[in-house]
A and B are shown apart, each in its own frame.
Chain A
Amino acid sequence: MARKEPHPDHDLIQGEWTEKTLVEKLLEPVEKPAPRPWKVVVAVGAALTLVWLYALFVTFVKGLGTWGINQPVAWGFDIVHFVWWIGIGHAGTLISAILVLMRQNWRDSLNRVTEAMTLFAVLAAATYPLIHMGRPQLFYWVMPYPTHMALWPQYKSPLSWDVLAIMTYLTISTLFLYLGLIPDLALLRERSTGWRRKLYGWLSLGWTGNAVHWQRYRAVYVLLAGLATPVVISVHSVVSMDFAYGLVPGWHLTVFPPFFAAGAIYSGFAMALTLIIPLRRWYRLEGVITERHLDWMAKVTLASGLGVAYIYLLEIFIAWYAGEPAEWAQQIWRMTGPYAPYYWAMMLINVVLLQTLWFPRFRKNLTWLFVFSILANVGMWLERFVIVVISLSKDFLPGNAQLYYPTWVDWTLFLGTIGFFLFGLALFIRLFPPIAVAEMVHLFHRLRKH
């Protein structure tokens, strides 16, 4: 066969590879002994998870009073972190779903680890609405089931929407991740022995690689990608409606759904960068996660971040333009009140520092990219803090105002979910290949053989 022009994306896989060496490389995290950083992450994650369990125990035994929430600030760190984690989840679904539809080749080396990130982020997020209830033992009352009281959930409440949105999101991202894993699981099944073989055997569902199965698989995969795309947009929109539906000054804005969606993509990509940059270093994956990949991710971060920054400025404008005293007072409170440092730190990161990503010099500098990705996560945390806590701390009546001080339980619950997230993710990449093997080999074919 005559050699064609190199594929335009040929540099997405760098280095001399054959299918065999590529597969060996990609399966290294699962098949070779774990590197030291992995052990550290697991240890830290497990420790934090244990502390988390203790904080949960305290919360359940003693009550929500152990948190810092109070009368006007009825939602504190619980909802801040719920929104934060849900937002982080978005990158995975976005990379796996939207980029599939757009036939972006660079997604193939990123989708598995980001989908796993989504799964654990959404799991971490889903704990918050449960534990933030005053009577968490009755959480199932938000589900429609016939009760002896003949009562049903109230479907005009955004919280009821949330329940279904998060359930759908969790289901679709889990299925999506799982579907993508099946061919790899079959490969691992054939390459492993002992309990691992058993585990992969069960999980691979007896996948043989039948070409007809592949056809249907592909059709469903693309279909799920098509479905996940509106879900990923809708979930954070529904979360944003928790606020936009409310009357609280600083919440009651129609721009919230796109605002939250943009913020979610921004924070999700930032978190993906935070995870992928060290992962790539530790597992020597520079050949498959190239600087071009990171550059692309930085560009998406910039684009979504600009959307967020735009709405920050829009919020100020609307508060002034709407002429509603409470809205404007809220804006002033954010800028000059006791929480002003939080607000300005958010503006500094998400508006000013974000602009560095315009320049290739900064985008190509992995140290800066890594530092910025962490900063962006802090910035998005601050944004949620501004929206949830600062808005509630002072609303319509001056007599309502009250500040919020988180307690050690609040902080521990947060650190605990981070621990759970890291622990889960570390175990995941030890058990399942962090880069989709079948898809990478397929991509390799397309790039090299055609």
Chain B
Amino acid sequence: MKERRGYEGALEKELFREEFPFGPVTRRGFLALGLLSLAACTPVVRRQGVPYVRQPEWVVEGGEAEFVTAYPHAGFAEPVRVKVYQERPLFLAPLQRAMSPYPLAGLYALYDPARQGKAPDWEGFYAAWRKALGEGETLLVLPRLTSPRLEGLLERAQARFPNLRVARFEAWSLENIYRGAELAFGQRAWPVYAPEKAEVVLLVDVDLHEHPAGYLWWEALSQRRLPPMNRIYAVESGAGLLGSMADHRLALKPSQVEAFLLALAQALGVVPGSPASEYGGFLPVLAEDLRRGGVVLPGPQLSPGAQALAMAINGALKAPVRYVEPPEREVATPKAFAEAERAPRLVWAAEGPLPNLSDKAFSAALSLYPTKAAVWSLPLAHPLEASGQYRDAEGRLWPSQALIQPLWGGKSLEEVVAGLIGEEVPALSPEEKRALVEGRPLAEAQALSLEVSPGLEGRLPPLRQEAPLEIALRPDASLYDGRYRENPYLEELPRPLSRLVWDGALLLGEEDTEALGLLGDIRARERKADPKRPLMRVKAGEREALLPLWPLPGLPKGSGVAPLSHFFHPEGVVWPLELSSTGRHYPLVSTQYHGYLGEVEAVKVLEEAKALEAEPHKEKRVSFYPPWPQGEHAWAMTVDLSRCLGCGLCTLACQVENNIPVVGKEEVQKGREMHWIRIDRYFAEEGVVHQPVMCQHCEKAPCEAVCPVAATEHSDEGLNLMVYNRCVGTKYCSANCPYKARRFNFFPYGEAFVGQGDPRKAKESPLALLMNPEVSIRSRGVMEKCTYCVQRIENTRAKAAQEGRKIRTGEIKTACQEVCPGKAIHFGDLLDPEDPIQAHRKEGRHYALLEEANTWPRTTYLAHLKNPNPKLKEGEHGA
């Protein structure tokens, strides 16, 4: 690197102090990846960076760049575009269709100083491991693997060390799906659904984050949530987000869900027999409707028999589903946990719950965060620090590349296994590089041509037995199986429907809570905003856990849901439940207690037919004043509630993009969460509806007029600007905002977040690198709110000006828009006739929130659409 002089060098020194204060990473190593598109071709960074011999064209040191990689979550690839700024990965967006929140939130873990343990002694570890292998059978527990390259390495390792036994652990297993395929087709297979092609969709006890393809499913389903609409039925034992979008929903206990599936198969003639019940008329109507071209989407926790039934039904319906080779060579199951606890010599490299590692001849834990439980605790590389290969939920193989040198000396699993047998992990192959540059998978999934073999009813194993009270242990929407527990972004992301943060709770229907005699107490506490909830002793399958109780409308009678992150059982996920009160209480914090719509029409819900008839509504605007001169653009946003299922990815993306701090449970309890986008959820007559509410950028903004120091004002392009430096913190704007979209820094939240609780440590914390340099960190005592990602607007404007052109239609995408799996958010220019926002605003279901307040919001909503079956009247089937 050329010797730099002058302010540039000084600035860099100031920023990086020659060496990072927090580890053995040199500045050069850190800066080594400053290549734009060509960077995808750089080899895996395992060495110190090399200065350019020839400066590549278009590369700006310290500028922005974007790379493609595959980010694994629970073994499955999520192809993402990584935005790198000044060589730091700062934002992730889905490469193709949709992604889960976990990769995005994983950025925190990348910079988290808590990952720093003792300096890893890899050679010592390998020596100890080899010695253990020499002494006897040593168990290596891995998480779900979808990488053929890693499988190859494992084979070679096992060949070299016959004592090396490999188990795969995953608390939330997909085994039942494979076994269901085995029952149905005689061979293990992985179904790949194309829900967008189906007219009618039946969701069987599945939620967004529970199936690897959940977010993709919603991306597909949401395309058809506009006229002409598909129709979604949901039969579920929990209360999930996908189910909340259903036109008809039937809440059943886990065992009854399976019985329902059998009855449906019988009604459709897939298996002989006649259904035991009509489910209040729901079943025949559903069966008839499904014949129009339906698909059944089953959840992974259904027993193999139920899976086979679902596959058989899909076969009979000629549903848009194809089958591919299972992505895992050997299935990862929760059973490996018990095995690990028994093993005398153990290397634990799986994620989720941690087994007991003491009393072992040899124990090692490989993890992202150091643990004291094992003798050997070694760091695993963060997914953005290492290359690898992963299959996505559709079975396609993706390469991933390292975008930053390991900050804490971590190794990827491939490197660990390769290190054991003294191999080198190969650099990115030319094919991989090309795939990354072109943003496509390395290999498509191997398709299987399968037919349901006849006589399924004979092979069908017994379905689940009914118990008076049943519980399903399902992954938490934020913490999954507990592997994201260290992630404050996810901890504070409100859980679906309950809007709980920072904790897991036992969810139970209101009827069951009433039966326990606890509902009155809970309602009284709710009224006082007292967070204390009864702590329950939850007993399932001989295991016990203490969980606070949270009653949730929509759950079926006799069924509870506990998060896998707080209650793990190595032998399964559905159990008869024994519940007893401990008499104690535990504070549970939710961001929204009031879930019922009052008389104010906040969310509009329309039926499809009515939406088609509806005339475009002319927004009522009253003003005595002449309009202000209009700028070159008129920024505006529409949120299509029909495509929004309230997953919270927008909240998270906004948080990462705009340096929004996490404030902690106590502050959330006081009502001080900082999320610029909050998702209001309402239990309406038509079902659950979600509404993201952020700054509406009102043209007649009530907040602006009341600021005594002009800290918030309007741009001629319609942005409601917030000038942090000018704010003195009277909070008048917030009081006067009818949407309550403004957030106040009651404490130095920003610095405290970066300093992990101590604002004074903010300057030396590596988390400072997570902060987007385009967005200022707000100090204590100032107001903040959604800015329409003004930094993106201005960057795009600058880029367009450099290239001597105008800003293209749709060129600016806000962070929330980029990640939304349902494509519900659209940001555009009202002065651009090409912009799709024009069409959105002319739709009959277009409306402005709180139009009666006469604020003329620029962010507007499209009503939530429902497509109920006219043959089914709500309420008849207990939905």
A residues lining the B interface (CB < 8 Å)? 62-65, 67-75, 129, 132-136, 138-139, 141-142, 149, 151-154, 156-160, 162-163, 242, 245-248, 324-326, 328-329, 338, 392, 394-403, 405
Contact = CB atoms under 8 A, between A and B. Distances in A.
A157 B728 CA distance: 14
A394 B680 CA distance: 14
B867 interface: no
B693 A397 contact: yes
A83 to B, nearest CB: 14
B798 interface: no
Contacts of B682: 398-399
A154 B707 contact: yes
Interface in B717-751: 726-732, 734-736, 738-740, 743-748
Contact of A139 (B728, B746, B853): B728
Closest 10 CB pairs of A and B: A134-B729, A134-B781, A399-B680, A70-B671, A65-B746, A325-B599, A402-B671, A159-B708, A74-B731, A65-B747
Nearest to B602: A397
Contacts of B598: 325, 329, 398
B361 interface: no
Interface in B832-866: 849-850, 852-853, 855
Given A71-B672, A132-B731, A247-B702, 16 more contacts: A64-B729, A65-B747, A72-B740, A75-B731, A133-B781, A135-B781, A142-B708, A152-B710, A154-B710, A162-B708, A247-B855, A248-B735, A338-B529, A396-B853, A399-B681, A403-B529
B780 interface: yes
Contact of A134 (B738, B739, B780): B780
Given A133-B728, A153-B710, A398-B594, A63 B748 contact: yes
A72 B710 contact: no
12 contacts: A62-B747, A64-B729, A65-B746, A75-B731, A133-B730, A134-B730, A134-B782, A135-B729, A141-B726, A142-B709, A159-B732, A248-B738
Of B527, B708, B728, the most chain A CB neighbours within 10 A belong to B708
B600 interface: yes
Of A135, A324, A399, A403, the most chain B CB neighbours within 10 A belong to A399
A274 B731 CA distance: 34
B705 interface: yes
Given A157-B706, A405-B529, A134 B783 contact: yes
B620 interface: no
Of A74, A324, A394, the most chain B CB neighbours within 10 A belong to A74
B529 A402 contact: yes
Given A75-B735, A324-B852, A69 B746 contact: yes
Nearest to A75: B735
Given A63-B780, A134-B729, A154 B744 contact: no
B871 interface: no
B594 A246 contact: no
Contacts of B732: 74-75, 157, 159, 242
B702 A246 contact: yes
Of A134, A156, A248, A329, the most chain B CB neighbours within 10 A belong to A134
A400 B596 CA distance: 12
B758 interface: no
B528 interface: yes
A418 B781 CA distance: 26
B709 A396 contact: no
Contacts of B745: 63, 134
Interface in B98-127: none
B528 A132 contact: no
A400 B592 CA distance: 8
Given A69-B746, A75-B731, A151 B726 contact: yes
Interface in B253-298: none
Contacts of A71: 671-673, 734, 740, 743-744
A395 B740 contact: yes
B710 A245 contact: no
B667 interface: yes
B706 A246 contact: yes
A158 B731 contact: no
A163 to B, nearest CB: 7
Contacts of A132: 730-731
B736 A247 contact: yes
B16 interface: no
A161 B707 CA distance: 11
A196 to B, nearest CB: 42
Nearest to B740: A400
Q: What is the predominant secondary structure among interface residues of chain B facing chain A?
A: loop
A64 B735 contact: no
Contacts of B600: 325-326, 329, 396-398
Given A153-B708, A398-B682, A399-B680, A68 B594 contact: no
Nearest to A76: B731
Contact of B670 (A68, A325, A329): A68
B59 interface: no
Nearest to A71: B671
A398 B597 contact: yes
Contacts of A152: 710
A242 to B, nearest CB: 8
Contacts of B22: none
Contacts of A138: 728
B529 A153 contact: no
Nearest to A158: B706
B604 to A, nearest CB: 13
Of B671, B710, B739, the most chain A CB neighbours within 10 A belong to B671
A358 to B, nearest CB: 38
B52 interface: no
A245 B706 contact: yes
B729 A401 contact: no
A191 B736 CA distance: 57
A194 B732 CA distance: 51
B678 interface: yes
A132 B705 CA distance: 19
Contact of B735 (A67, A74, A153): A74
B746 A403 contact: no
A221 B455 CA distance: 108
Nearest to B850: A396
A242 B748 CA distance: 27
Nearest to B729: A134
A72 B671 contact: yes
Contacts of B748: 63
A414 B852 CA distance: 37
A401 B596 CA distance: 11
Of A162, A247, A325, the most chain B CB neighbours within 10 A belong to A247
Contacts of A62: 747
Interface in B605-638: none
A135 B444 CA distance: 58
Nearest to B779: A135
Given A247-B702, A401-B593, A338 B528 contact: yes
A152 B709 CA distance: 7
Contacts of B727: 134-135
A154 to B, nearest CB: 4
A135 B725 CA distance: 11
Contacts of A72: 671, 740
Contacts of A139: 728
A160 B735 contact: no
Nearest to B712: A154
A157 B731 CA distance: 12
Contacts of A400: 739-740
Contacts of B691: 399
A247 B739 CA distance: 11
B726 A69 contact: no
Nearest to B734: A74
Contact of A135 (B671, B740, B780): B780
Interface in B666-700: 667, 670-673, 678, 680-682, 691, 693
A162 B602 CA distance: 34
A398 B602 contact: yes
Contacts of A163: 708
